[in-house]
Structure 1
C-alpha cells in the first residue's frame, strides 16, 4: 500500500506544470562596464548577484527597471521589444524543468487564456535534446517555446510573439524571455539570440 501511494504521488508530481514563485530568488543589478581586449575597450553588460553574468552590449538596448525579472532590457526606441532573464532557486520552482513540465505549463497558459476569452496561440511546442537549439545562453541547451497573444499598444490591438527559454543548472532555473510585436519579432529575435549567446558566468 505504501509503495502504491509513493508511486501515485510521484506520478502526480511529475505531471505538474511549471509553477512560478511570486518573485525571483536572485535579483541582480545590471550595469554597463568596460572590458579591455588587447588595445580596444568594449562596453559590456554585467549582472551582479550570487554569481555574476556578463554579456555583450548593444546600443539599441537599454537597461530597464525590472518588475519580477532579475534583469530587463528594452529596445531604446521601441520599448515594446524586450528581453529579460529571471533566475529562480530550483527548489522554489514546482514541476522542475523538462519537456513535459514546460509543455504542461504552456497548455495551462492556453487554457487560462481561453477561460478569460483572451487570444492565445501556441507557435512552438517544447522539444527534447534532439537537433539544434533555437537559442542558447550560459552554455546551456534550454527548452524553448513560442506563443502569440495580443497587447494594446498606442490604442491598437497588436499581435505579439513571446519566446520563453528554460534551463536548469546547478540547482537554479533560468528563464530567458523575448517579446516583440509580430512584424518586428524576427529582427529582434536575431539581436536577442546574439546577445543570449554572449552570456557567460564570470569567475
Structure 2
C-alpha cells in the first residue's frame, strides 16, 4: 500500500472496529506467494484508533502481516493482493503490492523471507526489562496466557512451558517471568522474524501497558 486513504467506521456496529479480510478471492494470480496476518481475526478497534496520540500510545494501531515468496520459477514476479475492509461505511479494500525482485534485493532479507531490521540492542533490552517488571507485578493468569500463546506458535516448546509452571511451583512469579523473558530474548536473537509474532501475543491481551510495550519493542526494531 503506497497511499493514504480516509474512511468512516460503520456506526451500526455495537463494537466499532476495522477487520482486514485476508481470505477473500483474488483477481490477480498469487502463485508462490503467502500473505499471512499474525492474528486472526485481524482487527483494529475504534478505541485504539481514537487513543492514538495519547502519551502512552505514540505509535498508531496496526496489524502485523508476513509476506512470503517461494524460491520457485512458478512464483509470479509481482504480487497484487486485495484485502477488503469490514466495518467501514463504504466498500473499501487495501491492495498489497510487492515485487519478487525487491524482496530478493533487500539487504535485510534471508532467502525470500521478509524479516524486520534489527534495531537498537539497548532499547530492546530496556523494553524487555520493562515487560519483565510489569508481568512480575501482574496476575499469574495473564502471564500464563502469554506463555500459552508463545507455546501455541512454537516460540517456546512444551518442555520450556512446563518448566515455567510445573517445574517452578516453589518459585515466585518474578523468577518465572525472568526465565520466560530470557527464553524470549534468546529466541529473538537467533530468530528475529519471531518478534512480530510475540508482539501480536502481547497485544491480544488487550491491556494498554502490554500494547504500549509491544509498540516500543516494535519501534526499536525498525
TM-score, scaled relative to structure 1? 0.25
Structure with greater Cα Rg: 2
Which structure's residues are more often strand, by fraction?
1
Which structure's residues are more often helix, by fraction?
2
TM-score, scaled relative to structure 2? 0.23
